[in-house]
Amino acid sequence: MALFVSKKNILLISVTIAFLTIMVRLFNVQIIEDKYRINAENNALKYKINYPARGRILDRNGGILVDNKLIYDIEVVPVDVKPFDTLALCKLFQIDESFVKERFEQYSRNRSLRYNSVSFLKQVSSEMYNNFAEKSYLFHGFDAVVRTARSYPINSGGNLLGYISEVDQDFLDNNEGYSMGDFAGKTGMEMAFEDRLKGEKGYDIYLRDVNNRILEPYEDGMYDKEAVEGIDVVSTIDMNLQAYGQHLMENKVGSVVAIEPATGEILAMVSSPGIDVSQLAEINKYYSTLITDPYKPMFNRAVQSAQPPGSVFKIVNGLIGLQEGVLTPETKYPCHSGYSVGKIKVGCHSHTSPIDMYQSLMMSCNAYYCYVFRDIIDNPKYESVSDAFDAWREYVMSFGFGTKLGTDIPYELAGNVPSRATYDKLHGENRWKSLSIISLAIGQGELGCTPLHLANLCATVANRGYYITPHYVKYNADGVVDSAYTIKHYTKVDPKYFPDVVEGMRRAVHGGPGGTARSVEIPGIEMCAKTGTAQNPHGDDHSVFICFAPKDNPKIAIAAYVENGGFGATWAAPIASLMVEKYLKGEISPDRQYMEQNMIESNLLNKVRVSR
Amino acid sequence: MAGKSIYRKYDWPLILSYVALLVFGWLNVYSSIHTDTSSLLNMPEPYNNHPIWICTALFVASLILFIIPSRIYEGFSWLFYVGIAGLLLVTTFIGTDINGSKSWLTFGGFAIQPAEFSKITTSLALATLMSKYGFNIKYPRNWIRAFATIGLPMLLILLEKETGSMLVYLGFLLLFYREGMSGWLLLAGLFSILTFILCLVASPFVAMLVLLGCFILIYFFHYKMEMKGIIITIITIFALSFLPKILLMDFIVTINPFKPEVWVALITVAIVLFLLFRNYIQKKRDAFARNILVMYLAFTSFIFSVEFIFHNVLQDHQRSRIEVVLGIKDDPKGIGYNVHQSLIAIGSGGFSGKGYLQGTQTRLNFVPEQTTDFIFCTVGEEWGFLGALAILGIYFFMLCRIINRAEKNSDNFTRIYGYCVACCLLTHIVINISMTIGMMPVIGIPLPFISYGGSSLIAFTILLFIFIRLDFDQWKYLKQ
């Protein structure tokens, strides 16, 4: 290397270069650059956070289920506070003196809080804010931040909508982009669609002088960030139908699910008792009451309570019988107040005998389905009872029973369809036969399904053989219907057998004497229905009802489940039929208004045994 | 010797610079935390022991100067080295966890950072190793030993997760260079890192200026025209720093097709090509001139490709990591915030500063770590450009003084140790100040003699005063 400068001098040069570089940069930062050359007094920056408006939640017709209203948070920079009239402040915000004292003790304990803007009082109404704004010059260091809070124009869908609340430490640890004092959805749609609804926070940077007076935007707002509003979520709920359903279900325990069969869109999902929207708005105030309420209003029964389906399950067994060839619509069986073999007896109410399949559905005959079920399970086509049972189970599960349907509703339950293993364990391997499990014939026994499963069954029959996964939000984040909600899920039963079942269900309403749902016939609407009465070891039977209407091109399929309501025809059927009528006609015909009145006024709460 | 005390042989200018920095540091630490009721001697918690630390430092300095025999440093250097290494190892296990790094050892009420003291022992060990007769760093056996000597403490400090302190040891590479290691490699590596970072953190224009300055200096120094080189460099750089402003003027901005760095590149590359061509025509066999000119072309093209490499070659996550480390990405809670606030503090100082105790940025807690790693903010804010220059001047004087005295010393041990001291100080000063003015990623190391903190203050004092003592011994013996 032909370098003649001594290494010592090279090192000295390096030092010189390093120091010169620093000097040039310092010269730049301190003298040339305007950006940092701020007057000695006004150089402190204040970040003012702009909270975005949360997305609204709309109903299927564009009606507003959840809206925003302006609300104010009062913040304070403790180190800037000068002695002030505590009493005047208390009067302004209607708070106690002790509250103010406590707050300031808290600030003085935590040194790091002193120089920052910290929360003093949350969610102050605009009225209070206006009073404060007039007198803010008296309260040095206090400031107000605009936020939006939720408002609910109609009392519709409390449980479905869910609530938002202030994030806690645990939430902050697991979610990015939030900071203390932010709100996030905790249940229902607010939680499930948090990403879309929340929007993006922004901030304005201001210069402030030593007295904390805001002077001007820093760098003309070049570094400000605009808040991005949340995206509206369009639900499939019909808010009027939802509100009406809630009204009908008042003072009853149970749920109603209504689906538009062709699209799988949930029109209404009532869980009663539920949360009132006025409680949602001030969830902190009501939380402890709600959580200790013995009727569990926070619990979404429509997807979280799995119960035996009762007689409505006969539809499924009938369809399987037809598919398996052990039954034709004309097959007749006798019934003399029940079905008995040896010690085993399944009771039935009195009706004509013998009857065919249409009549069996119309009159809901237990004996008929005992025959059908035994024929399915004892079918010689299968090597053993267990194999036949496996085949039956596969049919049942193809209707969506025993699985999560894959909806967008949080905390959906799968329910239960017993398996061969269940009975092997109960009775011993190969030691059980069709008679041992005969209660499955009429939807009792080890079956567990949610009201959503029943509504889905009803929609499947209405569609004559397929269902679309039920969902309660119309579009995905891209603003189109999710591809998952366009797939037709066909059951393992050939669609050609469905019209016979539909006919049986039609006769239950319109078939004349003996029809179990005759009493809820709606003038001018051809409806198909099936009643159910789910036996309940803990008290009165549960009242179950599914129906869809009109018979051709059905627009609505409903399942209603009224706990401890007795016969399906007594409570579930009127409620479901009223909702059908309301949805299809917009009003209740005069000769059915007594029924509506009766439903609204009845109180079944005392029948429900609550566990504490 | 009558009438003239032997004490005159101590390097008083160096000692006075040290005291000046110490006092200045004290004033600034106080300024960044003072309250209505405090005074210089009665500082608020937890800084109330700062005056004690300063007295301790002065006491330790006098012990080294007047009492402790200097022979022990060479004799026991390996013992010290192994002792501190052991302490570092222990610290990784039982150290107190502060801000995610386990680098503090607590005894009773005291906490010390062994990593700070390890610089002294490593310097002593290196000096012992490299001053041995027959040591030549060009032989693999020897350079492996030298690198191992700095490698061990680096590894141990890395285990404590004190990455910043570890990087300081890279400064010893300058010593290795002085003691015979080839320079081109070091230079090329250093330059590519420097230009890369400068391009991203500052701008391609700044990188262009720095590069130009360096090459002019090297060019002129090579031809023994040092004064001319320095003057030309300063004039060129200062003239060019106004270029962006000029290009932004109303009547130019409309017709100017290029960015400022392109203008600089166009002009200089033209000159360089001319020089190369002249060399070729005149058939001069000047390999150095050719090398340096070609290297300049290479680095110029490197500057212009940084943007491309950064945006097209690197992957997203790699890019964002570099951006966060360099403090480019807007990261209001992280590193970007610190640098932003630090720059505002220093920038708001202007030419002559806001005046002592008048700073608002540092005192109002806007600047993090304002007493330790970011103490330079207080200097810049309250004392302005002048104060910052003064500090830089004192540091520059100290470094030159140490290097010169070391070079003049006939004892190899003292010379090498002197270079070690200079390297340690240089890396700390450059990294720390560059970090506060946004030229380097935030690396948490203190500013020597100024930052608050007992361990670093005492350690730097010992480091410096051992050299002053060794240096003094030499002259003492010469006269006797």
- Looking at the complex, report in whole angstroms how far the Cα of residue A19 sits from the nearest Cα belonging to chain B: 7
Which chain B residue shows the shortest CA-CA distance from A29? B347
Superfamily in which the A239-291+299-607 domain is placed by CATH: DD-peptidase/beta-lactamase superfamily (3.40.710.10)
By the 8 A CB rule, do B128 and B74 touch? yes
Contact A8 B403 (CB under 8 A): yes
User: pLDDT band at residue A3, thresholds of 50, 70 and 90?
Assistant: very low
Q: Which residues of B touch A40 (CB under 8 A)?
A: 348, 350, 354, 358, 360
Record the tokens describing residue B116, joined without a space: 């700070």
pLDDT computed for residue B336 by the predictor? 56
Q: Which residues of B touch A32 (CB under 8 A)?
A: 241, 245
pLDDT computed for residue A397 by the predictor? 94
pLDDT computed for residue B480 by the predictor? 47
Contact B389 A17 (CB under 8 A): no
- Looking at the complex, report in whole angstroms how far the Cα of residue B221 sits from the nearest Cα belonging to chain A: 7
Which residues are CB-neighbours of B398 under 8 A, at least 6 positions away?
B14, B17, B18, B425
Q: What's the whole-number mean pLDDT along residues B397-411?
A: 92
User: pLDDT band at residue B420, thresholds of 50, 70 and 90?
Assistant: very high
Contact B385 A16 (CB under 8 A): no
Q: What's the whole-number mean pLDDT along residues A180-192?
A: 86
Average pLDDT score over chain A: 86
ipTM of the complex: 0.76
Q: Which residues of A touch B287 (CB under 8 A)?
A: 2
Contact B347 A30 (CB under 8 A): yes
Look at the domain A45-234 and name its fold: Penicillin-binding protein 2a (Domain 2) (3.90.1310)
Q: What is the pLDDT of residues A381-404, one digit of tens each?
A: 998 888 999 999 999 999 999 999
User: pLDDT band at residue B163, thresholds of 50, 70 and 90?
Assistant: confident
Q: What is the pLDDT of residues A97-137, one digit of tens each?
A: 888 888 888 777 765 566 667 788 887 888 888 888 888 88
pLDDT computed for residue A579 by the predictor? 95
Which of A446, A449, A447, A491 lies closest to A468 in space, CA to CA? A491
Three-class DSSP category at B37: coil
Contact B348 A38 (CB under 8 A): yes
pLDDT computed for residue B325 by the predictor? 57
pLDDT computed for residue B274 by the predictor? 86
Contact A47 B389 (CB under 8 A): no
Contact A3 B366 (CB under 8 A): no
Distances (CA, A) of A50 to A69, A201, A385: 15, 6, 68
- Looking at the complex, report in whole angstroms how far the Cα of residue A164 sits from the nearest Cα belonging to chain B: 26
Which residues are CB-neighbours of A597 under 8 A, at least 6 positions away?
none
pLDDT computed for residue A115 by the predictor? 62
* Mutation site for A-interface testing, chosen from B243, B338, B360, B397 by largest number of A Cβ within 10 Å: B360
- Looking at the complex, report in whole angstroms how far the Cα of residue B204 sits from the nearest Cα belonging to chain A: 14
Between CA A349 and CA B361 the distance in angstroms is: 87
CB-nearest to B346 from A12, A30, A41 is A30
Contact A3 B430 (CB under 8 A): no
Q: Which of A585-599, B118-132, B330-344 has the lowest average pLDDT?
A: B330-344
Between CA A9 and CA A280 the distance in angstroms is: 76
pLDDT computed for residue B4 by the predictor? 59
* Mutation site for B-interface testing, chosen from A5, A22, A37, A225 by largest number of B Cβ within 10 Å: A22
Go through chain A and tell me how many residues it has.
612
Q: What's the whole-number mean pLDDT along residues B280-291?
A: 75
- Residue A210 pLDDT > 50: no
- Looking at the complex, report in whole angstroms how far the Cα of residue B26 sits from the nearest Cα belonging to chain A: 23
- Residue B175 pLDDT > 50: yes
Contact A19 B392 (CB under 8 A): yes
Average pLDDT score over chain B: 83
Checking phi first, is residue A62 left (phi over 0); if not, alpha (psi -120 to 50) or beta? left
By the 8 A CB rule, do B247 and B234 touch? no
By the 8 A CB rule, do A449 and A467 touch? no
Whether the full predicted model's pTM is greater than 0.90, yes or no, is no
Between CA A481 and CA A334 the distance in angstroms is: 49
Residue predicted with more confidence, A292 or B428? B428
Between CA B472 and CA B480 the distance in angstroms is: 12
By the 8 A CB rule, do B129 and B146 touch? yes
Contact A40 B344 (CB under 8 A): no
Contact A31 B350 (CB under 8 A): yes
Q: What is the pLDDT of residues A214-245, one digit of tens each?
A: 656 766 677 778 888 889 999 999 999 999 99
Contact B245 A32 (CB under 8 A): yes
Distances (CA, A) of A303 to A454, B145, B235: 11, 72, 79
pLDDT computed for residue A45 by the predictor? 66
Highest mean pLDDT among A160-164, A306-310, B8-12, B417-421: B417-421
Return residue ranges of chain A for CATH 3.90.1310.10. Answer: 45-234
Record the tokens describing residue B69, joined without a space: 């025999």
Return residue ranges of chain A for CATH 3.40.710.10. Answer: 239-291+299-607
Q: Which residues of A touch B437 (CB under 8 A)?
A: 22, 25-26, 29
Q: How many contacts, defined by CB atoms under 8 Å, are there between A and B?
A: 141
By the 8 A CB rule, do B450 and B24 touch? yes
CB-nearest to A7 from B178, B343, B351 is B178
Which of A446, A401, A410, A409 lies closest to A425 in space, CA to CA? A446
User: pLDDT band at residue B389, thresholds of 50, 70 and 90?
Assistant: very high
What are φ and ψ of residue A68, in 5° steps?
-115, 150
Tally helices (H) and strands (E) across chain B: 20, 3
Contact B385 A24 (CB under 8 A): no
Q: Which residues of B touch A27 (CB under 8 A)?
A: 241, 385
